[in-house]
Chain A
Amino acid sequence: MGKFFWFLLILLVFLAIFIGEAGDFVLPLLYLLLGAFIFGRFWSGRVLQRLQIKRDFVSHAFLGEQIPVKIQVANSEWLPIIWLRLRESLPIELAPADTLHQVITLGVKGKAEFLYKLDCRRRGYYPLGPLSLYTGDVIGLSNPVRVYGPEYLTVYPKIISLAKVDLVSHSPMGTLRHIQPIFEDPSRVLGKRDYVAGDSLRRIDWKTTAITNRLQVKIFEPSIALETAIFLNQNIQEFDRRTGHDDTELGIIIAASLANYIVGLRQSVGLYTNGKDPLHDSVTALPPRHGRGHLLRLLEILARLQAGVAEPLVQLIYRQSVHLSWGTTVVIITNHVDDELFDGLFQMRRRGMDSLLLLCGPVARYSEIRHKASYFGFPLYQFHSEQDLKIWRV
């Protein structure tokens, strides 16, 4: 209000105390000014404090979806709100053309509702808000502010539907058919045939033998279990400076698409990445599991992931691969391949794991890397953009 106002009040108090008879005009004035000050502050402060705010929205969305967000504001007091300015802060990646910035008035027990739609144009973990609420009294003596904390929206990464991915596995007795008879699954009986000398007695089907009166043996279908661990590199230092941002995003799309494909085959998939998850400080390690619920957990992590300066991928592989079981297929998604990485892949092979190298974006010395990978028998693919994934969409 200014120093003069307080000077005036002190003057009035002085006059009221020391000039008793002056009270007939001083005191009403004192009541008027202090009443305006106290009641004004009380009014605006209280109504804002008791204001009920609710933000309704679906907290998870897929890329390209439009998410309606409804904000409800209710005045629960018996005092009206003369003016209330609401301003919603929104991330630029999702913000619609008209962001919420309105000035309204709310009567006694009044309510207001605001609706806006978010365009999920990009994967990520976005704060909706904070919603800043400003109000004040008619005189302008107080301008309380309230901030209604942000809530978060997760936009899943883009998933490209894959039809056929050549993922190798040496883990027998799974649910995926295989052509190698070495992976015969005794729980999958394919048919019966006559006994041939040398057949194991365990294979004889005694019931059929009794019916046909000839020795019959079971023929088993070979099958493999595909347990996949995706190692996703998000260390920006291991990417090209110019294309790093796009390449890390491409890596996330590949990881999400692969995970979706593997879960679609009813196989287990895990994720290990050195990217930053805003909800967790530690490195993300999601061991291989089955099911759609697990896939959603994995997609959520991929949605939140942020590339940055992190530990090198090779160190992550050394640290996490010891927890993987024999026969696991390891998919490495990176942009940086060196001898150290090949060493790591060799060690994993010795422990019975298969590896697949997926390179995102342009890679220096690509022909050399391809030659080495081919020489050592590691399948290698390079993707420059999402369109390159069409090789698996056939």
Chain B
Amino acid sequence: MESTNQSEALRWNARLATSASFILVSIMIACVVSTGVQILQLINPAFQGGYLIPICILVGLEASSGQRRMKYYSFPQPEWIAYRIAEFTVLIIGLRFLFYWLNGIDQLWVDLGSWPESFLESVFNREFMLALFLALFAWGANHILAEELLLMEADENRLNVEMMGVEVEERSAAQQNLRDTVVFIGSALILATAVVRFASRSDPAAQAATLVTQINVIVYFLLALVLFSLTNFSVLRMSWVIQHGQIRKEVASRWIFYGLVFITLLAILASLLPTSYSTGFLTTLSYLFYGLLNVLRILISILLLPFILFINWIMSLFRSTERIEAPAPLQQPIIPPNQPLFQADWLEVLKSIVFWSTLIGLAIFSIYYFLKENRELAARLKRLPFALELVSFFQRLIDWIKRINHQMTATITAGIERLRRSPSEQPSSFTWGFTNPRNLTPRQRVIFFYLAMLRRGSEKGVPRKAGQTPYEYAQTLEHALQLPPDVTVAPSVDINEEIDSLTEEFVEARYSRHEVTSEQASLARRYWEHIRHVMQQWLHSRKLNT
């Protein structure tokens, strides 16, 4: 029962996806027809074909559904022939009546009168033939694409056969054919739009047509992306079903959601990126070059600044006190007006840089992938005499850029790491042996004496381990500094107490916010001196023992 429900759901989903694809395809073909109408209107301004766009959508939908109906029939079969004849008859008659309805029904009565003498001339006149041509184009294109779409659809019977491994439908091939056809029609649409764009240069009346054709191209390709996404999901889902994969319910909904997000983001990105330029390529390059030179000049100035200041100071020592007559002012050169020396609007320059770099990047990328897809051509090109040197040069260039990138990344990472490090992890600001404690604040002095204890402890073989708290280290040090019973230091000194006190002082100085007095610092110094003394004794006794 469950498997029957699943199979029913699968069939229903597949039909839904194919129907959605039929609608998309019919709108896409309507965009092409719309461009065709614009071109025909430019050629023959009397031609009015606006009404053909909804008609072509309907014709396209009819062609797709007819294709589904005739899926199991082929050309010589009488059912197929009968259906197609009926289909075309209805199409021609319907279009003709629509033509009469739009141009006025009186025309029908006039034509009816002339049918006995000149039937063909009155019915199939030039305008009607143009409209019929576009409608037939829409029918044909939809028919071809629907054929591929139906090959990708899940048919329960075929699916069962495929799941048993008897016969496998080439859905991927159908998908590829569909893409090729869509891209091919799209390329023709682009060329047609470019032609209209050219025509609009000389003919101001074609401005409106240009806008319409451009919108048609964009809409066509946006819908094509949606169609590709839909068919991709259909093909993938069928392959998962055939391979007995369990498909989670949310996959389909997430696919639609992420697909729409993806295409919307792309559309936004495409609309945001620069589409025109105010500065030519070479001028932009010169701006870049001069910009880099300026940066270099500033860097050199900064580097040489101390030296220049030093020279100035030396020179000032030998400056004469006598007043020197100022020389007569030189005549200022006259800068010709309207000749700015690389003074441009920085925003425009930036836009141009983005534009040109994007365009060149895209060109290189397209050529690279084109050669990657056509390996034979790439292999032929590689055999050319200069190609090897060129490839080697580019390889070296890429290696160099990679190396520089690696070094820069390492430097930046190290810098960020240094900045991120907490103050306690950073190397101490004390410079051992050169710091005069008298110049330090009482808080710094306490810390200084504690760090001195750490340093000396480390030298004596009791280093502080990473992660050891001051109190833990104090215990370790106390345990290590157990003097032999025969060694006496001073009757009043209890080394453990001294270490504990210095540790307490340090913790207070390091972590408290209240003021540390100079008395506390003096006390810390006294503790440290006692500890140092004991450490020396301890070391001496160890040497004697060994």
- A residues contacting B by CB (< 8 A) are 1-13, 15-17, 19-40, 80, 82-83, 85, 87, 101-105, 107, 136-140
**Which residue in B187, B232, B359 is a CB contact (below 8 Å) of A140?**
B232
Residues in A with CB closer than 8 Å to B259 are 82, 138
Whether the pair B362, A138 counts as a contact (CB closer than 8 A) is: no
- Of the A-B pairs whose beta carbons lie under 8 Å apart in the complex, a sample of 7, sorted by A's number, is A1-B179, A2-B179, A2-B183, A19-B198, A20-B277, A35-B266, A140-B232
- Please judge, given known A-B contacts A4-B187, A17-B363, A23-B275, whether A35 and B269 are in contact too, CB under 8 Å: yes
**Which residue in A23, A82, A138 is a CB contact (below 8 Å) of B276?**
A23
Whether the pair B275, A10 counts as a contact (CB closer than 8 A) is: no
Residues in B with CB closer than 8 Å to A2 are 176, 179-180, 183
- Please judge, given known A-B contacts A27-B275, A138-B262, whether A104 and B248 are in contact too, CB under 8 Å: yes
> Quick check: is B128 within 8 A (CB to CB) of the other chain?
no
Whether the pair B254, A13 counts as a contact (CB closer than 8 A) is: no
Whether the pair A24, B187 counts as a contact (CB closer than 8 A) is: no
Residues in B with CB closer than 8 Å to A9 are 362, 366, 369-370
**Which residue in A7, A26, A27, A34 is a CB contact (below 8 Å) of B187?**
A7
Closest residue to B365 on the A side, CB-wise? A34
> Quick check: is B112 within 8 A (CB to CB) of the other chain?
no
Whether the pair A21, B197 counts as a contact (CB closer than 8 A) is: yes
Q: Which residue, of A9, A22, A28, A137, has the highest number of chain B Cβ atoms within 10 A? A: A28
Residues in B with CB closer than 8 Å to A25 are 193, 197, 214, 217-218
**Which residue in B180, B190, B228, B369 is a CB contact (below 8 Å) of A139?**
B228
Whether the pair A82, B228 counts as a contact (CB closer than 8 A) is: no
Binds A, one of B94-102, B133-141, B157-165, B239-247: B239-247
In the complex, the number of residue pairs spanning A and B with C-beta atoms less than 8 Å apart equals: 171
Residues in B with CB closer than 8 Å to A28 are 218, 270-271, 273, 275
Whether the pair B362, A102 counts as a contact (CB closer than 8 A) is: no
A9 to B370, CA, bound (A): 9
Q: Which residue, of A19, A21, A34, A38, has the highest number of chain B Cβ atoms within 10 A? A: A34
- Please judge, given known A-B contacts A27-B273, A35-B270, whether A15 and B190 are in contact too, CB under 8 Å: yes
Whether the pair A4, B179 counts as a contact (CB closer than 8 A) is: yes
Whether the pair B270, A31 counts as a contact (CB closer than 8 A) is: yes
Closest residue to A16 on the B side, CB-wise? B359
Residues in B with CB closer than 8 Å to A29 are 190, 217-218, 221, 270
**Apart from A34-B365, A103-B251, 13 more pairs, CB < 8 Å:** A3-B374, A7-B187, A13-B363, A24-B275, A27-B275, A34-B366, A36-B225, A36-B262, A102-B246, A104-B251, A138-B255, A139-B228, A140-B229
**Which residue in B183, B191, B247, B251 is a CB contact (below 8 Å) of A4?**
B183
Q: Mark B251-266, 1 if CB is under 8 A from A, else 0.
A: 1001100110011011
Whether the pair B266, A32 counts as a contact (CB closer than 8 A) is: yes
A105 to B366, CA, bound (A): 31
A58 to B363, CA, bound (A): 54
Whether the pair B270, A101 counts as a contact (CB closer than 8 A) is: no
- Please judge, given known A-B contacts A7-B187, A29-B221, A105-B251, whether A17 and B270 are in contact too, CB under 8 Å: no
Whether the pair B251, A32 counts as a contact (CB closer than 8 A) is: no
Shortest B288–chain A CB gap in Å is 19
> Quick check: is B379 within 8 A (CB to CB) of the other chain?
no
Whether the pair B266, A39 counts as a contact (CB closer than 8 A) is: yes
